[in-house]
Amino acid sequence: MIKKNLIVTMAGLFFLAACSSAPKLDVSTLPPHHTADGRFRNTDTIGPLLLDTMHLEEAVKNFDNTFEPLPLIRGGESLWVDSSKNTATWIGQSTFYLRLGNIGVLTDPIFSNRASPVFFAGPKRGSPPGRILDSLPPVDLVLISHDHYDHLDKRSIKSIYKKYPQVIFAVPLKMAELLEDWGIPSAQIIEKDWWEEAYFKDLKLTFVPAHHKAQRFIFDRNQNKRLWGGWIIQKKERSIWFAGDIAMGDGSYYKEIASRFAPIDFCLLPIGSYLPARLTRMHVSPRQAAQLHLLMKSKFSIAMHWATFNLTKDRMWDPPNDLNRARYELSIPEDRFRVSGMGEIILIWDNNLSDN
């Protein structure tokens, strides 16, 4: 257990802080989430710590939070070759393969065995990828939410570019330089600030705020120097919110997203890494995810960010169990906010049907 705690602590250090100085900018001309030293910040207030789960931390100090592999779900591949069908396939953590008509989109792709700068150490995945890259239909677009290792994986980015040399990467402000260092041509990177828009084929993309932070590892000079957020994808009259990693904050970011985009047809919402309760300053709890589902008037949501990398104190089945409870308490039907199987191909809407 000591060894395991040490590994968990070391894993956590990848996500912890360091600072450096930078030339001062004129803040009067900058949006409020930009700081004078060229970094970014959350502009909403921090919400109170949550103790809304069934787990009293003191009572379960030594619980076993080992992750076991989820079974891989197969079938439904014919949906991928029918351009009237739009599907979502969970690969693990926040990685989804979205097949939107003829367009293939990957969110925060990580196919690697570890969320780490090196292949031999760091947080190891509990479940293998739901699908390997070679088994997926083509990838045209990659959406990145922020630079944490479990969301931005160098090996996966390079593999995708090698297999699909024309692929476009849509990334937060100031992340392009990092991808260019990895060999991605700048012409294939779309870099956006909060509320900025971009177009890709018949998709309209909007980079939207999230209460979170950014840094790659301890002593990272670039702490909060790359922006973080989520993506709204609009395709004709349909909309998707890929939330990325989010804490609730005071909720104002999400109220604004809802005011601009709700009702949203399909939401990808994180439900894991919320224990101990102080982590709700970085991540939403399952109950908060359920509240966001309601706020966005989401017609259908799928949970993400669980059962993949064991980075925090929630046990593997805590997120879906707590989501179950929240759904019951908030009267959300089970088929409106569901947990996906690993690798499962889920139909999110059918162009031939107007109301599903």
- 44 interacts with Zn ion by CB under 5 A: no
d(CA 230, CA 146): 8
Smallest distance from Zn ion to CB 245, Å: 4
Q: Compare residues 244 and 343 and give the one whose CB is closer to Zn ion.
A: 244
Across-strand partners of 46? Answer: none
Q: With contacts defined by CB under 5 A, how many residues of the chain interact with Zn ion? A: 2
Cα(34)–Cα(30) distance, rounded to whole angstroms? 6
Q: What values do phi and psi take at 283, rounded to 5?
A: -135, 150
- Taking the least distance from each CB to Zn ion, the nearer of 53 and 94 is 94
- Cα separation, 76 vs 257, in Å, equals 32
To Zn ion, the closest distance from the beta carbon of 41 in angstroms equals 15
Shortest spacing between CB 339 and Zn ion, in angstroms: 20
Computed over its alpha carbons, how large is the radius of gyration of the chain? 19
Binding span for Zn ion by CB under 5 A among 64-72, 141-149, 284-292, 345-353: 141-149
Q: Which helix (H) or strand (E) holds 260?
A: helix 252-261
Stretch 285-344 residues interacting with Zn ion (CB under 5 A):
none
Q: What is the rounded distance in angstroms from the CA atom of residue 237 to the CA atom of residue 351?
A: 11
Q: Which of 33, 34, 131, 148 binds Zn ion (CB under 5 A)?
A: 148
Q: Which stretch binds Zn ion (CB under 5 A): 59-67, 113-121, 143-151, 157-165?
A: 143-151
Residues 75-134 within binding reach of Zn ion (CB under 5 A): none
DSSP string, 72-85: BP---GGGGG-TTE
CB 148, min distance to Zn ion, A: 4
In the complex with Zn ion, which residue's Cβ is closer, 241 or 349?
241
Q: Cα dihedral sign for 115, 118, 122, 128?
A: positive
Nearer to Zn ion, 210 or 326 (CB): 210
DSSP β-ladder status, 189-192 and 238-242: unpaired
Closest separation in Å from C-beta 134 to Zn ion: 27
Binding Zn ion (rule: CB under 5 A), the pick from 245, 265, 318, 344 is: 245
Find the part of the chain contacting Zn ion (CB under 5 A) among 55-63, 168-176, 198-206, 238-246: 238-246
Look at phi and psi of residue 269 and say left if phi exceeds 0, alpha if psi is from -120 to 50, else beta.
beta
Q: How far is the CB of 236 from Zn ion (least distance, A)?
A: 31
Kindly tell me which of 17 and 27 has the beta carbon lying closer to Zn ion. 17
Q: With respect to Zn ion, which residue has the nearer C-beta, 213 or 299?
A: 213
Number of Cβ within a 10 Å radius of residue 69: 11
Give residues with Cβ within 8 angstroms of 61, minimum separation 6.
none
CA 144 to chain centre: 8
Q: Residues 245, 112: contact at Cβ < 8 Å?
A: no
Residue 190 Cβ vs Zn ion, minimum distance, rounded to whole Å: 21
How far is C-alpha 90 from the geometric centre of its chain's CA atoms?
12
Rounded to a whole number of angstroms, the minimum distance from the CB of residue 343 to Zn ion is 23
Q: Which is nearer to Zn ion, 146 or 327 (CB)?
A: 146
Number of residues that this document lists for the chain = 356
Residues that bind Zn ion (CB under 5 A): 148, 245
